[in-house]
Structure 1
Amino acid sequence: MALDKDVFAGGVAVVTGAGSGIGAGLARRAGALGMTVVVTDINEAAAAETVAAIKAAGGKAEAEKVDVSIPEELDRLAELVFARHGEVRLLINNAGIETVGYTWEVPTARWEAALNINLHGVIHGVRAFVPRIIASGQEAWIGNLSSVGAFGQMPAQTAYIVTKHAVQAFSECLYLEMELKKLPIHVSAIIPGMMRTNIFNAEGGEGEPANASGHRRAMFEMMRDYGMDLDEGCRLFLEQMAENRFWVHSQPEMSEQALGSRIRFMQEQTPPVMPDIARQIAAD
């Protein structure tokens, strides 16, 4: 039997980037488990929609507009949440953007946005919340959004892949820091495989090169046609977090394939291998 309701019910959850995609799915699931969910997003209207969905299902939630690329915004959020609720049982550092384009063609502003949202948003989410969690003396769970992309390479998605490699490494070190300090804070690397989200929306990313549209469209269609149901994946994520697992997967077989390829790549020290999907996109 899943432990998630026993572990999380009645606690406070904070989810960044919860106006859409995996963040929204995790927020809805936390609400269904009986948590009070603080739904944060830079898009205030999107956050309000997630809150409305949670409340319509009988849950408790509130929305906060937060730009995770600004460290002070995460400090403000942590102060607000602890002043209002006194504790955080579940912190999900989810906010992220996909960026498509060759490394030298992605504009400076888009590179900075990818790094500040995907990586620094996770780092400063932890930095802002953990001291307050420690001071509360309560057990807590932290999930950082990694990716199967954290174990491989993908041309023209370099900005995203770089941030996910870094989030994975950060989460591994954070796990060991909690162990070293003997803190009751459980760290998980959440590793989505292919899930049906709008991260490759047809409109494209603001500031991306114009020639990124074909790659983005192909990835969007592949996720739409073959991706895992979002709510099912988010249910699995929180079930595994409740079991205090570090490795948290939506599709373990996909993760195993990516990890196996990474292990061989490092053992054999071959040049990077072009993914089949990259060749297909380039040929279109």
Structure 2
Amino acid sequence: MRDKAEDLKGGTAVITGAGSGIGEGIARVAAARGMNVVLADVADDRIAKLAAEIEAGGATALPVVTNVTDVAALERLADAAYDHFGEVRLLVNNAGIETIGFSWEIDDATWDKLLSINVRGVVHGSRIFARRMLESGKPGYISNVASIGALGMMPTQAPYMMSKHAVLSFTECLYLEMQLKGAPIHVSAVLPAQVATRIFEDAPADRQCEFVERQRGMMMSMLSQMGLSPVEAGEVILDGIASGEFWVSTHPETTVQMACARAQYLRTLANPVLAEQAKALVS
């Protein structure tokens, strides 16, 4: 049986948002599986520490401070990766943030920051690296991290949910474009469910709103108690990418359930309905 990691081993992976959470988990697993890793994040101290730990384990890591909202910074990231390693086999557009609050109460700056990181960062990261991958003519992988939320809806998480729907839609289109070109670039959409990260701890919120704070607490508790570790998630995600899957999920059963519920909702043109966990917050 062919090793799933065979096509990735020895290649270079560029991972945005590699300073913590799922990005860090993917980076650690990729390095352990024999890949060179380029660690991109705004947190220079985190990626420097991670790079040192990866290199102490015998792998090669290059930390590159990168703000994915800046297209020029993404170009510099690509330059650094290609200059240092010659080519890139895997790009993981993982950088993303959460926010919690009612849509009309979240300020302009927070809306713009979230959409710029979560959507523009994925779009521009994909197009910048895709051009170089296509020029090389060699097999490559572009994986965009959406969320199980890309199949659902949730009040007081509108910026995050809509951004992940956008990432999924963009990734579907990019997949078809690669097919149209007959390119050897495999595109995948990563839909993590419960992974124990700091995403809700770091999410800005209106602390004057009791409902929003209860929601933050519920989500943090759920991730800490039920979530995979970032490294466990990284193992599952890299297996899916290497297997050539478009849909890459940390929790396949949950993804199927969400997809079926979404299909039923659209097929019947039903009105949006509060999920049980949202109802529990107002009971």
Residue matched to 2:118:
118
Residue matched to 2:67:
67
Moved more, 64-73 or 74-83: 74-83
Residue matched to 2:44:
44
CA contact under 8 A between 1:148 and 1:193: conserved in structure 2?
Answer: yes
For residues 220-251 of structure 1, give each alpha carbon's deviation from its aligned partner in whole angstroms, at most 9, with x where no partner exists: 11110111232222111111111111011111
Residue matched to 1:104:
104
Q: Which amino acid aligns with 1:197?
A: T
Q: SS of 2:279's equivalent?
A: helix
Q: Which amino acid aligns with 1:109?
A: A
Separation in structure 1 between the aligned mates of residue 38 and residue 80 of structure 2, nearest angstrom: 10
For residues 37-90 of structure 1, give each alpha carbon's deviation from its aligned partner in whole angstroms, at most 9, with x where no partner exists: 000101111112221232233221111110001111111111221122221001
Separation in structure 1 between the aligned mates of residue 3 and residue 213 of structure 2, nearest angstrom: 42
Work out the number of aligned pairs and report it.
280
Q: SS of 1:6's equivalent?
A: coil
Separation in structure 2 between the aligned mates of residue 59 and residue 2 of structure 1, nearest angstrom: 23
Gaps of 5+ in 2: none
Separation in structure 1 between the aligned mates of residue 206 and residue 40 of structure 2, nearest angstrom: 28
Residue matched to 1:205:
203
Residue matched to 2:190:
190
Separation in structure 2 between the aligned mates of residue 111 and residue 127 of structure 1, nearest angstrom: 23
Q: How does 1:72-151 map to 2 (within 5 A)?
A: 72-151=72-151
Moved more, 39-48 or 77-86: 77-86
Separation in structure 2 between the aligned mates of residue 234 and residue 197 of structure 1, nearest angstrom: 12
Separation in structure 2 between the aligned mates of residue 275 and residue 61 of structure 1, nearest angstrom: 42
Q: How does 1:236-251 map to 2 (within 5 A)?
A: 236-251=236-251
Moved more, 210-219 or 114-123: 210-219
Give how far 1:195 is off: 1.1
Give how far 1:178 is off: 0.2
Q: Which amino acid aligns with 2:179?
A: E
Q: How does 1:159-198 map to 2 (within 5 A)?
A: 159-198=159-198
Separation in structure 2 between the aligned mates of residue 49 and residue 278 of structure 1, nearest angstrom: 38
Q: SS of 1:126's equivalent?
A: helix
Q: Which amino acid aligns with 1:102?
A: F
CA contact under 8 A between 1:39 and 1:63: conserved in structure 2?
Answer: yes
Residue matched to 2:280:
280
Residue matched to 1:265:
265
Separation in structure 2 between the aligned mates of residue 162 and residue 119 of structure 1, nearest angstrom: 9
Gaps of 5+ in 1: none
Q: Which amino acid aligns with 1:23?
A: G
Q: SS of 2:7's equivalent?
A: helix
Separation in structure 2 between the aligned mates of residue 5 and residue 114 of structure 1, nearest angstrom: 33
Q: Which amino acid aligns with 1:43?
A: A
Q: CA RMSD in A?
A: 1.3
Q: TM-score, normalised by structure 1?
A: 0.95
Separation in structure 2 between the aligned mates of residue 29 and residue 4 of structure 1, nearest angstrom: 13
Q: Which amino acid aligns with 2:123?
A: I
Give how far 1:2 is off: 6.5
CA contact under 8 A between 1:66 and 1:77: conserved in structure 2?
Answer: yes
Q: Which amino acid aligns with 1:85?
A: F
Structure 1 residues 2, 68: CA separation in 2 closer, same or farther (over 3 Å shift)? farther
Q: SS of 1:218's equivalent?
A: helix
CA contact under 8 A between 1:98 and 1:200: conserved in structure 2?
Answer: yes
